[in-house]
Structure 1
Amino acid sequence: MSEARKTDTSDDQEPLSKARLRLWLKLLKASNLIEANLRRRLRAEFNSTLPRFDVMSALNRSPEGLKMSEISQMLRVSNGNITGIVDKLTEEGLALRVAVPGDRRAQRVRLTDKGREVFARHAGAHQGWIDAMLAGLDADDVDGMIRRLDHLSDTMKEHD
């Protein structure tokens, strides 16, 4: 009898398992479509990249600056990726490195005034692009999806 229950349970779970896989593929497809659109627009309108936008966004949220390792952790990328982007931002006068008192090796990176101005233009355009791409969703759709994705994120933390 217990063997029959195990079979019934696994049979009941199979459609849900397949639906979860379908959900993952649809989330991935939607994310990839949005990301590709943003990459194309950033390149066309600002000769910039999405990783560069992400670094500037992280720095914009932290006016006191961030250590390179903090940026890497926030964006879930390697320090090497961040170093190249920060080098370019620094060369262009959009960011600067500041020594961390008491730690000879550590530096904080922060946006310059020029960097904040450039980011503000990029962020305004970015918000407009997102708004246009998601214009087919009404307020209830957006709120419902946010709640469900928050729940998904909370669930995923258990597997991180």
Structure 2
Amino acid sequence: MITPLKHRDHPPASKQRLRFWLRVLKLQRHIEAVLREKLRAEFGTTLPRFDVMAALHHHERGLRMSALSSFLKVSNGNVTGIVDRLVLDGCVMRVPVKSDRRAMVVRLTKKGRDDFSHMAGVHEGWVNELLAELSPDEADAMMAGMDRLNQSMGEQHE
């Protein structure tokens, strides 16, 4: 467990790290809000739906619902409604697992793959526009720092 610092004991580095964290949150919220609006306006879809399709695109053989929820770090209930709508729209299919009659794997249909591929290309363009002020070297340096943080946090919390 991390012990909270007393206000008078905060070294300058802790204030700087707190400011960094708040800026990361602000930037993430801004980018996410822009992408949500663009996905809605351009494709009539939502960011959670895009995320489910992205996860299934990444796992071509499909995923069980619990694995999909874990991959997206959301509850099974959140994913079920999205998958139900994607099935109705012909973008996702449920396939029984031969070794477990109760289990189903969900995967993209051809329509789902085609729709997602188109959306993903447009989405990449939007992200590129949003982050255009960041040079490739700056992006690499920031990703290296974030990877270092992820690794250290994973070691602390696993």
TM-score, with length taken from structure 2 = 0.91
- 1:33 corresponding residue in structure 2: 30
SS at match of 2:106: strand
Identity level (%): 52
129, 151, 155: which one pairs with 1:154? 151
How many Å separate the matches in 2 of 1:62 and 1:139? 28
Mapped pair 1:130 → 2:121: no
**Greater Rg, structure 1 or structure 2?**
1
The residue that corresponds to 1:61 in the other structure is 58
Q: Does 1:24 align with 2:12?
A: no
For 1:117 and 1:159, locate their aligned partners in 2 and report how far apart those are by CA, in whole Å. Answer: 40
Normalized against structure 1, the TM-score is what?
Answer: 0.90
TM superposition shift of 1:12:
7.6
Q: Which amino acid aligns with 1:73?
A: S
How far did 1:159 drift?
Answer: 3.9
Alignment match, 2:108 = 111
Q: Secondary structure at the match of 2:11?
A: helix
Question: Cα distance, 1:88 vs. partner?
Answer: 0.4
- Structure 2: runs of 5 or more not aligned: 1-6
Cα distance in 1 for partners of 2:11, 2:115 equals: 50
Matched residue count: 151
The C-alpha deviation readout for 1:54-93, integer Å capped at 9, x for no partner, is 0000000111110000110011000001000000000010
